[in-house]
Amino acid sequence: MMERFSNPVLLKELKLRFRAFKSFSGLMFYLAVLCIFVAGFLLIYTQFSGTGFFKPSDSFTMFAVLSILQMGLVMFITPGLTAGAISTEREKQTLNILLTTTQSSTQIILGKLASSVAFLILMLVAGLPLYSLVFLFGGVSPSQFIIIFLFYFLTLIAIGSIGIMFSTITKKTIVSMIATYGAMIFLGGITAFFFFIGMSMEQMAVHSGNLQNVTPFSPITYFWVSINPGALLITTLYPEMGNALESVVGISLPIWIVYLIFYILITIICLFIAIRKLRANMKTNR
């Protein structure tokens, strides 16, 4: 029964990834960045306050900035771990051997994705002691902490799926990485740009008095901000900003619902394409 659910590809990838020196050097770099930030934050705020201790509001500010920094690091590191999962095998000419095994395309793709996600989860867990400082000073509820990490988990799985898909449908790792980082720029930056453009057009229509003659931009504007990871993180940390956004856009649906549906669909679609195209690309190369 256990053999049916076992995944040799996942076990092999986990052993190779967690035994590699570059994995632990990357983890050390990640923790060093967080430690430098926390130490600098503590030093600056205790110097400015002149009292030598933190207020709960200062502690929450550190939690918010640390969460944003960690989200940026996750979005930067995840494409590098997943964008070469299949294309590297193709470049090393080991993909042919892998496809001649009894492993299905689903096991290969999910094994590659799960090994990358496992390492990213290790990075998040390794940063928990730094978050414990926030609970030491107070100002943050455990529910906010859990929601933030669930948000990280969903986002890194979706980004990993995008990287796996591009790694499968492209022949070169560099092309796959460029495409994956391009997708990250779109989700993190272009969507924010579209949101501000939509809001500006709405305000111009309101000021000109021709709102009845223009196509309403509120649903489209709301969609762009709903799929932006930064917007969801900020509205999760500061619920009042989410309420203000809903009142400005005119839609009362919480953005985390749209975010959840969108990124689950993205994950499913990307994994489906990767599974379907894995052996198709192999037949083409023959």
Provide DSSP, 126-142. HTHHHHHHHHHH----H
Please give the tally of structural domains in the chain: 1
Query: How far apart are the C-alpha atoms of 20 and 259, rounded to whole Å?
Result: 35
Q: Flag whether 2 is in a domain.
A: no
Predicted confidence (pLDDT) per residue in 58-71, tens digit = 777 878 888 888 88
Q: Flag whether 48 is in a domain.
A: yes
Q: Which residues constitute the domain of residue 191?
A: 8-285
Q: Flag whether 208 is in a domain.
A: yes
Distance of CA 96 to the CA centre of its chain: 31
What integer pLDDT is reported at residue 285 of this predicted model?
45
What integer pLDDT is reported at residue 139 of this predicted model?
67
Average the pLDDT over 126-146 and give the result: 77
Query: How far apart are the C-alpha atoms of 200 and 70, rounded to whole Å?
Result: 30
Of all residues in the chain, the percent with pLDDT exceeding 90 is 12
Comparison of pLDDT for 264 and 59, the residue scoring more:
264
Q: Flag whether 71 is in a domain.
A: yes
Comparison of pLDDT for 68 and 206, the residue scoring more:
68
> In this structure, are residues 58 and 49 in contact, taking their beta carbons and an 8 Å threshold?
yes
Q: How confident is the model at residue 1 (pLDDT cuts 50, 70, 90)?
A: very low
Identity at 269, one-letter amino acid code = I
Tokens of 124: 């998040």
Predicted confidence (pLDDT) per residue in 151-189, tens digit = 988 998 999 999 999 999 888 888 899 999 999 999 888
Q: Flag whether 3 is in a domain.
A: no
What integer pLDDT is reported at residue 281 of this predicted model?
47
> In this structure, are residues 34 and 130 in contact, taking their beta carbons and an 8 Å threshold?
yes
Query: How far apart are the C-alpha atoms of 35 and 49, rounded to whole Å?
Result: 21
Q: How confident is the model at residue 55 (pLDDT cuts 50, 70, 90)?
A: low
Average the pLDDT over 37-65 and give the result: 72
Q: How confident is the model at residue 205 (pLDDT cuts 50, 70, 90)?
A: low
Q: Flag whether 1 is in a domain.
A: no
Comparison of pLDDT for 105 and 135, the residue scoring more:
105
Q: Flag whether 140 is in a domain.
A: yes
Query: How far apart are the C-alpha atoms of 229 and 258, rounded to whole Å?
Result: 12
What integer pLDDT is reported at residue 272 of this predicted model?
92
Residue 211 above 70 pLDDT?
A: no
Residue 23 above 70 pLDDT?
A: yes
The set of long-range contacts for 90-99, using a CB threshold of 8 Å and a minimum separation of 24, is 90/171, 90/281, 90/285, 91/172, 91/173, 95/282, 96/282, 98/9, 99/278, 99/279, 99/282
What integer pLDDT is reported at residue 284 of this predicted model?
46
> In this structure, are residues 246 and 252 in contact, taking their beta carbons and an 8 Å threshold?
yes
Residue 283 above 60 pLDDT?
A: no
Average the pLDDT over 21-42 and give the result: 80
Identity at 163, one-letter amino acid code = G
Residue 101 above 70 pLDDT?
A: yes
pLDDT, the chain, mean: 79
What integer pLDDT is reported at residue 186 of this predicted model?
92
What integer pLDDT is reported at residue 51 of this predicted model?
60
Q: Flag whether 183 is in a domain.
A: yes
What integer pLDDT is reported at residue 148 of this predicted model?
87
Average the pLDDT over 17-38 and give the result: 80
